[in-house]
A and B are shown apart, each in its own frame.
Chain A
């Protein structure tokens, strides 16, 4: 080998090490997940491992914000971040934590249900890692994560994922999808243990109604929709009518009995809670979109989805205005309000009363269009 070869090799090695250090730092930095600020009714922040110690010390353990009213009442649970690449889910949960004034009952909010999934993203998707929103206290940066548990925390995937206890078979990667892991099991893999922890919280705290906040790609048929366990259908019907009367396009679906692992199926079957899941339109998901961008995530904008709307390929209206984060969070938060109101009508002795959380009108309908896409939502955040 000539001296010239040594120099070239040394340069290549140095560049490789520099890239490795840079990407490693970037990867490790993702483990710092930004947490919500304490809102007016937050009385304590516990960890999911307080209900199931099998999560203690793992990256699947996640904060649970407890918002307790002065009066006795029922209990509700709001799950954000089941899928960490669906930002209106966890941003709605964060907004709830920072704004809700609970008057009666207790509301548990988990902003990052799959905490592990928040600590990485899907490189093959070219997804963004962070987005920043100007809030009352200045710019705050939030994570954009992955649909599934971080493979650093759970690896390898089996070829076939066999759901417990139904024995339903799904593709191997779904073993890291917490919304295919319910009701979970205490001695299962990390994702199953996370699901088990959520179910244990519900059972221990007698949670009467549970919300799981999601997003879906505009080409996915179950969108702008609520899916409810059969035991929750009366409440869901009443709440859905109120949402329709309020100008929110919402369809209602009953949870299939033969599709397992999802909150709206298993939490309804294995706990006494009324399980409800909501979906909004996320322009940063799906396959008919352009390159990943903050505009997709916050603005809900994508010109390719506009084209696909004209081609009749989408299940949700899509124009140049897109579906900004305020619209999507507004749908979720209004949904939580209306379904809890319906729950209260059916359970007046266990009423859950709160105020202060911006709904669809405050977040979207009455907003200055120029402030949509992050700034208006940020005006409600601490």
Chain B
């Protein structure tokens, strides 16, 4: 009997060894989307009603996923001028009047940037504090959908969205209403869009 138990235990250990073809980076276990915050209402958000933001624009990442580069590409396609820096700090704000933070955690991206999640969070908090004291408008964006949710990405969502003046969210990434709840609680206008293609209309509309 004891042999059977040992055999079963060994089989269980073997099953825990995962195989895949890509990099075996340390990744958080997938988790069901976070439950809405207890304080979150039924996520009654309002969209942006009038343009408020101004150029120059600085685009950065919130979590080092490549989504910020995709947003920069979209902005280029619609003729918006911007500077982009995935590792900028308050010292890099220059004469920027609007800071766009594209949120999405990526362990590959963090590795590429040579920073860990805690370091990234500290950078963002310092950047946002600097932007606030300099009077910049802050736009928070989450455009990576469900793939950019989970423990790593969620770590960046609340501290960034709480400080935003405006938010743009692809709905597939907010089925649990986390971001809608933050925006509703903090009276932050939020436009929920079906796909990244709609960024081409909602983002330029935010600029005077």
Chain A contacts to B: CB under 8 angstroms: 82-83, 86, 147, 179, 214-217, 219-222, 224-225, 227-228, 230, 233-234, 236-238, 240-241, 244-245, 249, 251-259, 262, 277, 279, 285-287, 312-315
Contact = CB atoms under 8 A, between A and B. Distances in A.
Interface stretch (B40-48, B117-125, B130-138, B140-148): B140-148
Given A234-B73, A256-B111, A258-B111, 12 more contacts: A214-B21, A215-B21, A219-B30, A241-B74, A241-B196, A244-B197, A253-B108, A253-B109, A256-B112, A258-B114, A285-B19, A287-B15
Nearest to A315: B30
Nearest to B67: A252
A199 B114 CA distance: 26
B22 A241 contact: no
A233 B69 contact: yes
Nearest to A122: B19
B21 A216 contact: yes
B199 to A, nearest CB: 9
Given A253-B109, A256-B23, A287 B17 contact: yes
29 contacts: A82-B21, A214-B22, A216-B22, A221-B25, A222-B108, A237-B69, A237-B73, A241-B73, A241-B74, A244-B197, A245-B195, A249-B145, A249-B147, A251-B148, A254-B66, A254-B106, A254-B108, A254-B112, A256-B112, A257-B111, A257-B114, A259-B111, A279-B21, A279-B22, A285-B20, A287-B16, A312-B30, A312-B31, A315-B147
Contact of B18 (A252, A254, A287): A287
A244 B195 contact: yes
B91 interface: no
Contact of A244 (B17, B18, B106, B196): B196
Interface string B67-100: 1011011100000000000000000000000000
Contacts of B197: 241, 244-245
Main secondary structure on B side of the interface with A: loop
Nearest to B199: A241
A179 B21 contact: yes
B18 A220 contact: yes
B140 to A, nearest CB: 19
A279 B23 CA distance: 11
A259 B113 CA distance: 12
B32 interface: yes
B60 interface: no
Contact of B20 (A220, A252, A253): A220
Contact of A251 (B28, B111, B144): B144
B171 interface: no
A315 B147 CA distance: 7
Contacts of A179: 21
Contact of B25 (A256, A257, A286): A256
Contacts of B111: 256-259
Nearest to B69: A237
Nearest to A229: B112
Given A230-B112, A240-B70, A254-B66, A222 B32 contact: no
Interface string B33-67: 00000000000000000000000000000000111
Interface residues of B, number: 37
B27 interface: yes
A369 B183 CA distance: 41
A312 B32 contact: yes
B147 to A, nearest CB: 5
Contacts of B28: 221
Contacts of A262: 22-23
Contact of A253 (B18, B21, B66): B66
Nearest to B70: A237
Given A214-B22, A233-B66, A244-B196, A254 B109 contact: yes
A90 to B, nearest CB: 13
A249 B172 CA distance: 11
A350 B147 CA distance: 34
B155 to A, nearest CB: 15
A214 B23 CA distance: 12
Nearest to B20: A220
Nearest to B16: A287
Nearest to A245: B197
Nearest to A311: B32
Contacts of A234: 69, 73
A216 B20 contact: yes
A313 B67 CA distance: 24
Contacts of B109: 253-254
- Sorted nearest first, the 10 A-B pairs with minimum C-beta distance are A256-B111, A220-B20, A252-B66, A312-B32, A237-B73, A253-B108, A221-B27, A254-B112, A216-B20, A251-B147
Contacts of A257: 111-112, 114
B164 to A, nearest CB: 23
Contacts of B195: 244-245
Contacts of B25: 221-222, 256, 259
A219 B66 contact: no
Contacts of A224: 147
A36 to B, nearest CB: 22
A227 B147 contact: no
